[in-house]
Amino acid sequence: MAGSMKDIKLRIRSVESTMQITKAMELVASSKLRRAKDRADSTRPYYQQIYRVLCEIARSNTDFSSPYTVHREVKKHCMIVIAGDRGLAGGFNNNLFKAVAAAGGENGCVLPIGRKALDYYTRRGVEIVSDACGSAENTTISSCLEIARVICDGFLAGDFDTVSIAYTAFNSMLSQSPKIVDLLPLEQLRKDIEALAESEEAPSRELTLYEPNTEELFNLLIYDVVAGMVCGTVRESYASEQAARRMAMDSASKNAGEMIENLNLYYNRARQAAITQEITEIVAGAEA
């Protein structure tokens, strides 16, 4: 009985140590989440403004054409997969990988961002376009511009015919969901231009002269648009990772608390049984 009580006591101490770690990780994730959310929100205005400029350039030219907006036969697909750098975040990474597999992203080539994505697709033998961004947390604007250059040059060269981004959207502090959006060709750009032209609130078309010409300016700005899209999704995915880790560590802390309560109950029962046994032995000895 004494050995059983000692084992329960050691188990309680072990669970208490684990709970201290999970609580500390929850606080760290909460702190990183606030900063990551602010960074993600500050990225959107830049991308939206650049995208609006592209729409105006394309709309101002009646005979506008660009290889980045032309839909061609899909022979090979490229998927930019943005995952986390660490585990202990619930199903954050696995849910994203399942969504990519369901969309057929593993059948083409992959550009992984984040250590988990790089390790996952390296083990599975999927063709990797570039492994320059092994860390999602340390991905900078210059890194996103380099990714945009690799993607745009590969698209023009015909290395792949479509490009998509797979990331985890930040819906709220308690909800994050995998999402896949098309990047190239810019079919959405044409839809937005047509919607703008048909809208009654659309401003009158202004005659603007672009030097050297609209196509060269458009092809130059496309790098900034792709980089802004990549940067925004990376930062939103990083915020989602911290939110998922905070939720996972909060759940782990609650489970540890329940385990401690149950172990304390078992310990008290074992202690009570030991006391009862000692009293019984004393009484039996006195009667003898």
What pLDDT is stored for residue 59 in this prediction?
Answer: 65
Question: Of the given ranges (9-13, 62-66, 67-71, 151-155), which has the lowest mean pLDDT?
Answer: 62-66
Closest by CA position to 81, among listed 63, 64, 104 = 104
pLDDT digits (tens, 9 = 90+) for 81-130: 999 888 888 888 999 999 999 988 778 899 999 899 999 999 988 889 88
Is residue 191 included in any domain, yes or no? yes
| Higher-confidence position of 121 and 52 | 121
CA-angle at 183, arms to 181 and 184, nearest 5°: 140
| Higher-confidence position of 267 and 62 | 267
pLDDT digits (tens, 9 = 90+) for 210-252: 666 667 777 777 888 888 888 888 988 999 999 999 999 999 9
Cβ density class 146-177: b for 16+ within 10 Å, e for less: bbbebbbebbeeeebbbbbbbbbebeeeeebe
Is residue 271 included in any domain, yes or no? no
Is residue 254 included in any domain, yes or no? no
Proportion of the chain above pLDDT 90, given as a percent: 21
Is residue 286 included in any domain, yes or no? no
Q: What share of the chain is helix, strand, coil (3-state, %, to 5)?
A: 65, 10, 25
Is residue 264 included in any domain, yes or no? no
Is residue 174 included in any domain, yes or no? yes
What pLDDT is stored for residue 211 in this prediction?
Answer: 65
What pLDDT is stored for residue 200 in this prediction?
Answer: 47
Domain with 207, as residue range(s), is 23-247
Q: What is each CA distance from 78 to 52, 98, 154, 172, 205, in whole angstroms?
A: 25, 16, 10, 29, 36
Q: Which amino acid is at 28?
A: V
Q: Could you give the number of structural domains in the chain?
A: 1
Is residue 9 included in any domain, yes or no? no
- Please, what is the average pLDDT of the chain? 82
The first and second tokens of residue 282, run together, are 């004393």
pLDDT digits (tens, 9 = 90+) for 166-198: 999 888 888 889 998 888 887 666 566 556 555
Identify the CATH number of the domain in which residue 194 sits.
3.40.1380.10
Is residue 204 included in any domain, yes or no? yes
Q: What is each CA distance from 171 to 87, 251, 264, in whole angstroms?
A: 20, 19, 39
What pLDDT is stored for residue 286 in this prediction?
Answer: 75
